[in-house]
Amino acid sequence: MSDANERIKETVTKNDVVLFMKGTKTMPQCGFSSRVAGVLNFMGVEYTDVNVLADEEIRQGIKDYSDWPTIPQLYVKGEFVGGCDIITEMTLSGELDQMFETNAVSYNKEAADKIREANA
């Protein structure tokens, strides 16, 4: 197992929610990363952000780890959830709320409802 793979595995198993993204949660560096971080931030989810632009091994390694070609990538309780389009769909359908509730991840239900209202 490569060093990058080990670091990724350790990150996703030791943190409840992890977002591999371009940039950081406070300064995203691409629109897709910004959208997912914005949803998580607005919903008050505590999560670990990993800036793939700061580490080329992680940038390629996360794609290999998940067998998913794009970034951002969201993990909840060690499980790969998806990228920007999937997270957007799950947010609007309420599936993301259910996933957080099932995994005992704290989030603001009112904020989640506001996202859905704004996009109805």
For residue 53, the domain's CATH number is: 3.40.30.10
- Non-local (6+) Cβ contacts of 97 within 8 A are 107, 109, 112
pLDDT at 114 exceeding the cut of 80: yes
On whether residue 118 sits in a domain, the answer given is no
Task: Please give the tally of structural domains in the chain.
Answer: 1
pLDDT at 107 exceeding the cut of 60: yes
> Which residues sit in the known binding site for [2Fe-2S] cluster?
30
Helix (H) or strand (E) run with residue 51 in it: strand 48-51
Work out the number of other CB atoms within 10 angstroms of the CB of residue 26: 8
Tell me the pLDDT tens digit for each residue of 14-33.
Answer: 999 999 999 999 999 999 99
Return the structure tokens found at 80.
Answer: 């790969």
Residue ranges making up the domain that contains 27: 3-113
On whether residue 119 sits in a domain, the answer given is no
> Which residues sit in the known binding site?
30
pLDDT at 1: 52
Mean pLDDT taken over the chain: 96
Measured distance CA(90)–CA(99) in Å, rounded:
9
pLDDT at 65 exceeding the cut of 90: yes
Among residues of the chain, what percentage have pLDDT more than 70? 99
